[in-house]
């Protein structure tokens, strides 16, 4: 029988288990739950299923306490995962609930932090505490820290008006704004708690919290326990506590793949959902968006607050300022000299985009938003440049390596269109020259002296007279949708073969080098270990990973690994959207969807529907 913890209806499960003579399992939310509390409607990302009791019930050992007391917790791989997981939580400002705003300024450091909880919570009553315990805790904080500022952190459900806490403004300075727990812990001189999970996070942040109840994290030598539990005698370090609590005890759930998963997979998903919430919760006003894109943009950026579409730049800026929204503009569509009074994010397709071309009205499954510039424009710094130049966060390079391997194994590229079998290729040193759309913004902004496909071919042939040169026209050009075509007879004067409708991934596998102006195919070749020569300044040039013959900005002085570059471009920069569930998702899910073909395939009807959806997306204010 299952019972939800020790909640109001748990007696029913207890009674049924006793009557049937069967085991009772108590179920609770996992320690990384969701963006908002369950009473706000968010489902949990994981569950705690305990056959001995409940983790917060100190009257008897739970499965978690049994793990902490008896498991060796000495596996180096497990402890390394624990250290990395702790670092990722801190870096991402992630907690049990995640409706906080990392942009909010934390109080001046040096304060004493007192953690409140909601009245009537089972973790208080079954953790050996009551209302008087909170009074004693606040008194102790004042007595033990004379003259110090006392800040009282309210529970998210109290701040949201869902359940009352134990303290009011008469008791001291309340922190009821959505401040990150990690930011609060960073500035605290001391932390006082009864049984809140923030006490556990305080340990992860390097504190030794004063604990007035008997929560799961007390009694292991990592806290100052004012109500000791004699049966807990083992001494643990922080990694061991984390390993048992976050890696071994919970059942984590992947809502996109609809299956149980590892802590790391759950964390990837939470990062994607939290990013969407933090960036979109105030809403956006979008300008410069073509009609057929609007439905997908509404789905992508309107999950937490609708996107309003306005083709008039002036009125859009005024509305955004009046309503506290930010502006979205398709990159390159903002008017010259446009300086709005609110944040402006330039939107573009991501580097794992779809199965099909944007020019054929296939919606993108990943989009980038850039508040500084845009990745293809080297004349000014972009957010992607900053991500590449910054030290990668914990676990980033290993995660990127696994993602690269999955992309290579699945034979994925940006559009995933070409699947024609390759002809027999002549032996010798082969160079792939990818054609581009000649009026593409990446060439207009980031091109060097060579700015046409014919000139690119001529330069590649001039510097490699004995090589086998394979020319691949751009898919949009092949489809007759964009400019940049070279007549076949002219192309064959410089190239040994013109690879029309060829799979770019298959071509990369057959060559030793790629020559390009600014094509993304150069990045895809880097991922596959090929040498890349750039005659322009694409985002991946200038970092020591390519041979650069173009005008690379001097500011690109960092020397990241290939994995760090891939992490920035494929994980940290874009936002991905699962075409099956509609949820924000990590790029690993997108790779699986593209590999399995679980994406929309547009025909004429779907293209017409996309435009119709765009009309209604533009009028979302009528029903939302």
Average pLDDT over residues 547-570: 97
Residue 509 pLDDT > 80: yes
Asked if 1 and 16 count as a contact pair (C-beta separation under 8 A), the reply is yes
| Cα 329 from chain centroid (whole Å) | 21
Look at residue 614 in the predicted model and tell me its pLDDT.
Answer: 44
Q: Specify whether the CB–CB gap between 424 and 453 falls below 8 A.
A: no
Residue 52: pLDDT over 60:
yes
- Whole-number pLDDT of residue 111: 97
Nearest to 369, CA basis, from 540, 572, 179, 176 = 572
pLDDT digits (tens, 9 = 90+) for 279-306: 999 999 999 899 989 999 999 999 999 9
Return the pLDDT at 49. Answer: 98
Measured CA to CA, the distance from residue 540 to residue 503 in angstroms comes to 22
pLDDT band at residue 477, thresholds of 50, 70 and 90? confident
User: What value does the CA radius of gyration of the chain take, rounded to a whole number of Å?
Assistant: 28
Q: Is the pLDDT of residue 491 over 80?
A: yes
| Predicted model pTM | 0.92
Cα 241 to the chain's mean position, in Å? 26
The top-scoring range by mean pLDDT among 414-428, 434-448, 473-487 is 434-448
Share of the chain above pLDDT 70, in %: 95
Give strand pairing partners of 404: none
Res 620: pLDDT: 43
Query: Rounded to whole angstroms, how far apart are CA atoms 475 and 249?
Result: 50
Angle at 309 between CA 308 and CA 311, to 5 degrees: 145
DSSP secondary structure letter of residue 60: S
Which range, of 36-50, 51-65, 548-562, averages the lowest pLDDT? 36-50
Supply the pLDDT for residue 103.
85
Q: Burial-class residue 227 by CB neighbours within 10 Å (0-12, 13-18, 19+).
A: middle
pLDDT at 360: 63
Q: How far apart are CA 101 and CA 125, in angstroms?
A: 31
pLDDT digits (tens, 9 = 90+) for 69-102: 999 999 999 999 999 999 999 999 999 999 999 8
| Mean pLDDT, residues 314-340 taken together | 93
Cβ-based neighbour number of residue 547 at 10 Å: 12
Side-chain half-sphere CA neighbours of 163 within 13 A = 16
The angle formed by the CA atoms of residues 463, 465 and 467, to the nearest 5 degrees, is 100
Higher pLDDT, 293 or 251: 251
Given a cut of 70, whether residue 142 has pLDDT beyond it is yes
Distance CA 279, CA 446 (A): 28
* DSSP letters for 230-263: TT------HHHHHIIIIIIS-EEEETTTTEEE-H
Token look-up 């606040």 returns 138
Which tokens go with 275? 């990013």
Residue 426 banded pLDDT, cuts 50, 70, 90 = confident
Q: What is the pLDDT of residue 337?
A: 86
């Amino acid at each position: 029988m299952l019972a939800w913890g020790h909640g109001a209806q748990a007696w029913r499960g207890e009674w049924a288990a006793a009557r049937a003579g069967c085991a009772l399992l108590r179920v609770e939310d996992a320690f990384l739950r969701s963006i908002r509390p369950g009473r706000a409607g968010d489902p949990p990302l994981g569950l705690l299923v305990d056959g001995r009791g409940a983790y917060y019930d100190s009257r008897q050992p739970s499965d978690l306490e049994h793990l902490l007391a008896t498991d060796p917790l000495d596996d180096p791989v497990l402890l390394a995962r624990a250290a990395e997981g702790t670092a990722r939580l801190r870096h991402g400002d992630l907690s049990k609930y995640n409706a906080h705003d990392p942009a909010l300024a934390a109080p001046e450091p040096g304060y004493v932090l007192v953690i409140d909880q909601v009245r009537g919570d089972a973790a208080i009553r079954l953790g050996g505490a009551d209302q008087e315990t909170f009074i004693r805790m606040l008194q102790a904080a004042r007595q033990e820290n004379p003259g110090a500022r006392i800040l009282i952190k309210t529970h998210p459900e109290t701040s949201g008006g869902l359940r009352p806490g134990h303290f009011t403004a008469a008791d001291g300075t309340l922190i009821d704004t959505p401040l990150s727990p990690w930011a609060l812990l960073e500035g605290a001189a001391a932390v006082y708690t009864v049984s809140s999970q923030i006490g556990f996070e305080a340990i992860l942040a390097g504190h030794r919290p004063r604990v007035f109840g008997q929560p799961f994290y007390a009694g292991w030598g990592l806290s100052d326990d004012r109500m000791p539990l004699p049966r807990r005698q083992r001494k643990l370090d922080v990694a061991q506590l984390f390993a048992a609590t976050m890696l071994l005890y919970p059942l984590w759930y992947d809502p996109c793949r609809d299956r149980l998963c590892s802590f790391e997979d759950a964390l990837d998903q939470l990062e994607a959902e939290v990013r969407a919430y933090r960036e979109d919760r105030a809403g956006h006003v979008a300008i410069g968006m073509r009609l057929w894109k609007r439905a997908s943009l509404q789905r992508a950026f309107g999950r937490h607050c609708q996107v309003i579409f306005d083709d008039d730049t002036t009125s859009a800026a005024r509305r955004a300022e009046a309503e506290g929204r930010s502006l979205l503009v398709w990159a390159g569509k903002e008017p010259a000299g446009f300086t709005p009074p609110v944040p402006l994010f330039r939107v573009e397709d991501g580097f794992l985009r779809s199965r099909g071309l944007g020019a054929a009205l296939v919606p993108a499954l990943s989009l980038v938003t850039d508040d500084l510039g845009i990745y293809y424009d080297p004349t000014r710094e972009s957010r992607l440049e900053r991500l590449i130049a910054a030290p990668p966060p914990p676990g980033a390079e290993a995660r990127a390596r696994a993602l690269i391997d999955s992309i290579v194994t699945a034979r994925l590229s940006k559009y995933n269109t070409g699947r024609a079998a390759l002809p027999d290729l002549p032996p010798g040193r082969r160079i792939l020259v990818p054609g581009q759309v000649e009026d593409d913004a990446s060439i207009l902004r980031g091109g060097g002296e060579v700015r046409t496909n014919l000139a690119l071919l001529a330069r590649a042939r001039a510097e490699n007279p004995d090589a086998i040169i394979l020319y691949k026209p751009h898919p949009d050009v092949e489809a007759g949708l964009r400019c940049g075509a070279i007549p076949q007879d002219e192309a064959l004067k410089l190239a040994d073969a013109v690879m029309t409708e060829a799979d770019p991934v298959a071509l990369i596998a057959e060559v030793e080098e790629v020559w390009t102006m600014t094509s993304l195919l150069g990045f895809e070749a880097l991922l596959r270990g090929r040498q890349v020569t750039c005659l322009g300044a694409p985002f991946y040039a200038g970092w020591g990973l390519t041979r650069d013959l173009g005008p690379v900005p001097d500011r690109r002085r960092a020397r990241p690994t290939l994995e760090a570059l891939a992490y920035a471009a494929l994980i940290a920069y874009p936002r991905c959207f699962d075409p099956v569930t509609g949820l924000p998702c990590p790029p690993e899910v997108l790779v699986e969807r593209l590999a399995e073909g679980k994406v929309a395939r547009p025909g004429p009807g779907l293209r017409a529907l996309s435009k119709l959806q765009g009309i209604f997306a533009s009028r979302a204010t009528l029903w939302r």
